[in-house]
Amino acid sequence: MTARGFINGHPASWDGTDWHYDDNGEIASGKQDRTCRHCGLAPVRVSVVVPVDFSETGVERRATVLVDACIALLVQQLNRDTRNPVTRASCCGHGAKDPEIMLADYSTLVLRSAPPRGREAQR
């Protein structure tokens, strides 16, 4: 059975070894350099603490990871205390869903824009 998912909003499939983009078959694993399908921005490198259970080495460590550009500043601010991991994963939603940030305790912070007010609501 092939796993299916998205990388930066681009449909992708798992072949048992690597993730491949569905549109061209290009290997996507470890290479998230495509821009977001929604905003067109490339992922940004952010320094985070990788918790033990998310670390392939089995040791908590600091690492630079790629984060969706539109939420990178918030992820960076949440992780500015280098002693405690705060975030586990994040996704801007790529225009298909609300942006989400999974926190260290496995709760999820869902980012929603405020409803329009005043004249904006009347447009």
43 and 86, same domain (yes or no): yes
3 and 46, same domain (yes or no): no
CB 44 within 8 A of CB 66: yes
45 and 104, same domain (yes or no): yes
In a domain, 116, yes or no: no
Between the alpha carbon of residue 101 and those of residues 24, 55, 78, 98, the distances in Å are 29, 18, 10, 10
In a domain, 67, yes or no: yes
Residue range 2-49, pLDDT digits in tens: 788 888 788 889 888 888 889 998 888 666 668 888 888 888 888 887
Domain count, the chain: 2
Domain encompassing residue 20: 1-31
Q: Residue 82: its pLDDT value, please?
A: 66
Distance (Å, whole) CA 97 – CA 81: 29
45 and 83, same domain (yes or no): yes
For the entire predicted model, the pTM comes to 0.72
In a domain, 115, yes or no: no
b/e sequence 50-70, b meaning 16+ C-beta within 10 Å: beeebeeeeeeeeeebbbbbb
Residue range 38-88, pLDDT digits in tens: 888 888 888 887 777 777 788 887 788 888 999 999 999 998 876 776 888
Question: Is it the case that residue 101 has pLDDT exceeding 90?
Answer: yes
Distance (Å, whole) CA 112 – CA 96: 13
Q: Which is higher by pLDDT, 115 or 2?
A: 2
25 and 79, same domain (yes or no): no
Q: Residue 100: its pLDDT value, please?
A: 93
In a domain, 123, yes or no: no
7 and 49, same domain (yes or no): no
Q: Which is higher by pLDDT, 92 or 33?
A: 92
In a domain, 119, yes or no: no
- Dihedral sign, CA of 20, 58, 74, 114? positive
